[in-house]
């Protein structure tokens, strides 16, 4: 697929996948061939790991379990500010910096997990659409 060139700008960068990219099994003559079953397996594993970042309880554990590295744990344990660092001037300034860092990091961490989840959804839909197109066009 070619993109219209912008006479005033530079061309879009080309995407070069490493030869050992998961699911990439060679060239089908028109570009790289992606093994869908391998990509589905990787995406499924990623989705499972995203569940643990959200705080999904593993089987046999409480539904309120948060766990290491979850969005809730980062929010709770990283929430340190002036009240925790002390009342003297340097400690209060340090606490203010920690509060600001926590706010930025906590929000960014949650957004990262949300965006990876959206990417996983998009890849899954792309594979389903491609496979449907292949079935429909060969019928």
pLDDT tens figures, 56-93: 555 665 545 566 777 777 777 767 777 888 788 888 88
pTM for this one?
0.58
Distance CA 122, CA 96 (A): 39
Beta partners for 34? 24
Q: DSSP label at 109?
A: H
Distance CA 12, CA 6 (A): 10
Question: Can you read off the two tokens belonging to residue 31?
Answer: 């570009």
Render pLDDT for 13-40 as a digit per residue (tens, 0 to 9).
676 767 777 676 766 666 667 788 888 8
Which of 49-53, 102-106, 120-124 holds the top average pLDDT? 120-124
| Closest C-alpha to 34, from 45, 49, 21 | 21
pLDDT of 118 reads 92
């Amino acid at each position: 697929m070619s993109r219209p060139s912008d006479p005033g700008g530079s061309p879009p960068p080309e995407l070069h996948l490493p030869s050992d990219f998961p699911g990439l099994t060679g060239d089908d003559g028109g570009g790289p061939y992606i093994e869908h079953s391998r990509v589905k397996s990787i995406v499924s594993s990623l989705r499972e790991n995203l569940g643990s970042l959200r705080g999904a309880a593993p089987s046999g554990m409480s539904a309120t379990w948060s766990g290491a590295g979850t969005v809730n744990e980062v929010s709770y344990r990283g929430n340190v500010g002036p009240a925790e660092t002390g009342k003297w001037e340097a400690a209060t300034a340090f606490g203010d910096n920690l509060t600001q860092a926590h706010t930025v990091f906590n929000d960014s961490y949650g957004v990262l997990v949300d965006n990876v989840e959206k990417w996983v959804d998009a890849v899954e839909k792309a594979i389903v659409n491609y496979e449907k197109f292949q079935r429909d066009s060969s019928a």
